């Protein structure tokens, strides 16, 4: 019997969804950062065994009040994923349950899809017993979760609990992807994401949310891949911040991104990054289309 299905990973921003996906695949497909709203796109991570193919859907973190068109499109991708999958893994931070968690839990229930909940980052609490009141409060509620599992996506310990549950809910269906494929996203997209991850890492708390990365050229030669990329910023005044003194910050972003892209491509990379002001792109549907965000 051949089984294949989609498993959605949902939750509010910053709870560890992309970290879980990378653990499941044992490689980095989806970028992560300590700042919320890192993931902007649905990304598939595919794990194939002999007779089962699990297609995990990483989603953007659910936002209570999205501020611009891009954030609304991010929320829409969460809803879309919930309507398409065979099983749902909701992730929450075990240190606290907030409004967005409640909203996601309600959407999961409304979807009618079987689901489990991971209470992630349990390494950050001293004693697992601290979770008991939270878990007890869940049982009073009308949620859709078959299990509440204390978890640590950072180490991936007990990941078999997650995989077993996901596997159990796969429908009988032929594989949707070749057995050796790990994601639906092309390398060009992943390269842009890696650059965005470095921007999230190096720049303060505001600018990463007003930037995006476009790959202008991606030329794969036998012994080197040449990549030209542009970072969009929203205001002219943000340009020098991204570039840094005498270009120092942009150099660090490019250099760290290059190392990761080389690892991914298993090839030498030449990477040149430009910075360009694109006013109002977060609410401009044509600009959002350019970076692959459409209705």
Ligand X SMILES: Nc1nc2c(ncn2[C@@H]2O[C@H](COP(=O)(O)OP(=O)(O)OP(=O)(O)O)[C@@H](O)[C@H]2O)c(=O)[nH]1
Q: Does 200 bind ligand X (CB under 6 A)?
A: no
Contacts of 11 (CB under 8 A, 6+ apart): 17, 61, 62, 90, 91, 92, 101, 104
**Residue whose pair of structure tokens reads 């505001």 in the numeric block:** 206
CA distance 110 to 212: 33
Alpha carbon 192 to its chain centroid, in Å, reads: 14
For residue 123, the partner it binds in Mg ion, ligand X, none, with Cβ less than 5 to 8 A by kind, is ligand X
Q: Does 23 bind ligand X (CB under 6 A)?
A: no
3-class SS at 10? strand
Choose, by CB under 5 A, the member of 18, 37, 111, 225 that binds Mg ion. Answer: 18
Choose, by CB under 6 A, the member of 98, 124, 132, 136 that binds ligand X. Answer: 124
Q: Does 39 bind Mg ion (CB under 5 A)?
A: yes
For residue 154, the partner it binds in Mg ion, ligand X, none, with Cβ less than 5 to 8 A by kind, is ligand X
Burial tier of 295 (Cβ tally within 10 Å: 0-12, 13-18, 19+)? exposed
3-class SS at 278? coil
Compare residues 43 and 242 and give the one whose CB is closer to ligand X.
43
Q: Does 37 bind Mg ion (CB under 5 A)?
A: no
Residue closest to ligand X, measured at CB: 61
Contact residues for ligand X, defined by CB under 6 A: 11, 13-19, 32-34, 36-39, 60-61, 120-121, 123-124, 152-154
Contact residues for Mg ion, defined by CB under 5 A: 17-18, 38-39
């Amino acid at each position: 019997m051949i089984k294949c299905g989609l498993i959605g990973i949902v939750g509010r921003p910053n709870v560890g969804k992309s970290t879980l996906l990378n653990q499941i695949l044992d490689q980095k497909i989806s970028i992560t950062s300590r700042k919320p709203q890192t993931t902007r796109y649905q990304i598939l991570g595919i794990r194939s065994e002999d007779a089962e193919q699990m297609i995990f859907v990483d989603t953007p973190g659910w936002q209570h009040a999205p501020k611009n068109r891009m954030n609304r499109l991010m929320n829409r991708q969460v809803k879309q994923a919930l309507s398409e999958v065979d099983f749902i893994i909701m992730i929450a931070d075990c240190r606290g349950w907030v409004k967005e968690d409640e909203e996601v839990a309600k959407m999961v229930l409304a979807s009618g899809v079987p689901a489990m909940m991971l209470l992630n980052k349990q390494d950050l609490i001293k004693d697992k017993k601290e979770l008991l009141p939270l878990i007890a409060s869940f049982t009073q509620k009308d949620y859709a979760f078959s299990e509440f599992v204390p978890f640590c996506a950072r180490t991936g310990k007990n990941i078999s609990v997650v995989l077993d549950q996901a596997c159990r809910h796969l429908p009988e269906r032929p594989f949707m992807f070749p057995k050796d494929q790990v994601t639906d996203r092309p390398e060009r997209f992943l390269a842009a994401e890696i650059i965005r991850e470095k921007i999230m890492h190096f720049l303060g708390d505001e600018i990463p949310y007003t930037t995006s990365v476009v790959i202008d050229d991606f030329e794969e030669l036998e012994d080197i891949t040449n990549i030209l990329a542009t970072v969009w910023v929203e205001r002219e005044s943000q340009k020098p911040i991204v570039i840094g003194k005498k270009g120092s910050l942009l150099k660090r972003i490019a250099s760290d991104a290059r190392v990761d892209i080389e690892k991914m491509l298993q090839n030498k990379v030449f990477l040149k990054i430009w910075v360009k002001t694109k006013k109002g792109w977060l609410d401009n549907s044509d600009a959002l289309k350019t970076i692959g965000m459409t209705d």
